[in-house]
Chains A and B, each alone.
Chain A
Amino acid sequence: MCGIAGLIHRGKSSNVGEELQNMLQALKHRGPDSTGYALYANNDGKNFILRFKVGENVGEGSTSVNEDESVYDERKKLVDKKLSELGATIMKEEKLTPYSYRYEIQYGKDLMWFSEAIESIESVEILSIGKSLELIKDLGDATAVSERYGLNKVQGTHGIGHARMATESGVDIKSAHPFWGYPFADVSVVHNGQLTNYWNNRRVLENKGMRFMSECDSELIAVFLAEKMRNGATLEEGMRESLTGLDGVFTYFVATKDSLGMAKDTMAAKPLVLYESDDLVAMGSEEIAIRSILPQEIDTYDPFDGEVKVWQI
């Protein structure tokens, strides 16, 4: 049982950081181990936002191995060196925690090659690359993570988030959601459910050159969709293929720089409540998530089995 939430403002921006924080905090009982945000912020679009981690949060019930913070600094230096070798220019850098960074970079070549090079450094994982995507995930509830990373003032158009109860893999950042749709800029995924053909799909996708960072079954969705899009499918086409390509029970959200989508498995085994109006779509595992930002009486509904929907900003 995990909690997922998402919202998209159509035709305007809002404080999506605070809104998603409220929605995810309302779902804390569904997943107390870690919380993740994929916020599509009002950045200027000139530079890539590179968010990466050089280690794990080893506190707060983490299952990760304890490491000395000095190794984080060494890895960060290796990342800087690799960026220079790749021809990327660091325009701005922020150290958010001892183990995670946010860079603004200028880079104009292939992102897959770029990502492979950065992640060849031991224990370094790119959380996201994008012009508007700000992907943040860490241990703790929605409020704790938001306060740690200063998210409740992020202005943007849309976002998705996840409150995780660890079942298929450990309590660590690498298994936390959202997952970046490697190697596509600005693509992120959150999932509630269990995928039962994870290893079969993973072997097939790895043979096609796709990369997995964790053993979390949910990561498969991001990789599955990325592989379909790499072969020319639209986001919605990829999502529709996932209804038969993925086995198990799932409700998932996927977001790109200008859209938000949801898909529900053909058994409708995982919950989702949806509110849709002309200027806002909000959805979550439980209605209380939507009520946290829309306390007034509204019309909501459960999407049906096998349903796929995509909204544009």
Chain B
Amino acid sequence: MANLKTAEKKTKAQSMGMHTEVLTGKTQQKFFNPDEAENFFYWGTHNVDFNKRTELDVKDLDCKQANEKIDILMSEGYGTIVIKNPQGKHSLGVGILNKLNLIFEGSLGYFGVGSIDGPIVTVKGRVGWSCAENMMAGKVVIEKNAGSCFGAAIRGGDLICKGSVGARTGIDQKGGSIIIGGDAGAFTGFMMQRGRIVILGDVGINLGDSMYDGTIYVGGKIGSFGSDAVEAPMTKNDIDWLTRKLKVAEIGNNVDLSKMTKVVAGKKLWNYDALEPTEKKGAI
């Protein structure tokens, strides 16, 4: 196999085996051979040291300048970066693909920490629309409220908001966990495909509308169920999982988990439901 660091762009995918399709009744892609790990290069990642800490004041920087500064700091090995004065700027902390302890001392605007894969993020303020969109892995904790489309299309990781969130939380969610300490708006879990959403407070109308799969837990009142969303019985596994996750999220200590409402997809999706769990992962 060619060295991916030096390979031509058009041959990289072939070299990684990503062009190969394996037919097992359903179509799956073969993504990566672990035996060739030494050749694997995850572009844009840095080796950082959590004990190496620095601060970055972004008051007079635009989002592009701020993100470039963060990237430079990571390339210098800083593993704990404290962002001062974010002041609601958009698109801060996006596209971070390595482990990092990233702390925002203030609020973010739209699309904050989107498309991340691994960092632990703390926002000591509020976030605007589409926070952590397309998140792959890591943990994001919002200390205050969040706007709409919170965790849109996330595929993994834990996304936690200790306050309330807007409409369409977890829209198109494909994995991971979204945990809300307060209330959530309309169309929460809209077209959700996998993963879990936990709302300790109330939730608005059309909960889980058009959801394929996944699970939503609600502690408070539900405005209405969306099309395809139905209530399911809480099991011991659900309570065990909620206990573990809420402990990680550091919220919901006083919630009676057995009284939460569990919501799942009630619609039969013929081809999708016939897939094995591992095949579903490839399909979405």
User: A309 → chain B, closest Cβ, in Å?
Assistant: 15
Question: Which residues of A lie under 8 Å from residue B187 when comparing CB positions?
Answer: 267-268
**A301→B186 contact, CB < 8 A:** no
Question: Which residues of A lie under 8 Å from residue B95 when comparing CB positions?
Answer: none
Q: Is the interface of B mostly helix, strand, loop or mixed?
A: loop
**B186→A286 contact, CB < 8 A:** no
Chain B, residues 182-207, CB within 8 Å of chain A (1/0): the string is: 01011100000000000000001100
A304-B185 CB under 8 A given contacts A268-B166, A268-B167, A286-B109: yes
A288-B186 CB under 8 A given contacts A271-B129, A299-B144: no
**B110→A286 contact, CB < 8 A:** yes
Interface size on A, residues (CB 8 A): 20
**A302→B145 contact, CB < 8 A:** yes
Residue of B nearest to A264 (CB): B167
**B147→A266 contact, CB < 8 A:** no
Residue of A nearest to B85 (CB): A295
Question: Which residues of B lie under 8 Å from residue A291 when comparing CB positions?
Answer: 87-88
B266 on interface, CB distance cutoff 8 Å: no
B128 on interface, CB distance cutoff 8 Å: yes
Measured in the bound complex, the distance between the Cα atoms of B128 and A290 in whole Å is 13
Measured in the bound complex, the distance between the Cα atoms of B108 and A288 in whole Å is 9
**A304→B109 contact, CB < 8 A:** no
**A287→B185 contact, CB < 8 A:** no
A300 on interface, CB distance cutoff 8 Å: yes
User: B238 → chain A, closest Cβ, in Å?
Assistant: 27
A295-B204 CB under 8 A given contacts A286-B128, A287-B109, A302-B147: no
User: A212 → chain B, closest Cβ, in Å?
Assistant: 31
A300-B167 CB under 8 A given contacts A286-B88, A295-B87: no
**B107→A268 contact, CB < 8 A:** no
A85 on interface, CB distance cutoff 8 Å: no
B125 on interface, CB distance cutoff 8 Å: yes
Question: Which residues of A lie under 8 Å from residue B204 when comparing CB positions?
Answer: 268, 304-305
Measured in the bound complex, the distance between the Cα atoms of B111 and A271 in whole Å is 13
Chain B, residues 144-174, CB within 8 Å of chain A (1/0): the string is: 1111100000000000000111111000000
Set A267, A273, A288, A290: member contacting B147, Cβ < 8 A = A273
Set B109, B125, B129, B163: member contacting A288, Cβ < 8 A = B109
Interface contacts beyond A271-B128, A287-B128, A300-B107: sample of 16 additional A-B pairs, CB < 8 Å, sorted by A: A267-B187, A268-B186, A286-B88, A286-B128, A287-B88, A287-B109, A288-B89, A288-B109, A290-B88, A299-B126, A301-B126, A301-B163, A304-B167, A304-B204, A305-B205, A306-B186
Interface residues of A (CB under 8 A from B): 266-269, 271, 273, 286-288, 290-291, 295, 297, 299-302, 304-306
Interface residues of B (CB under 8 A from A): 87-90, 105-107, 109-110, 125-126, 128-129, 144-148, 163-168, 183, 185-187, 204-205
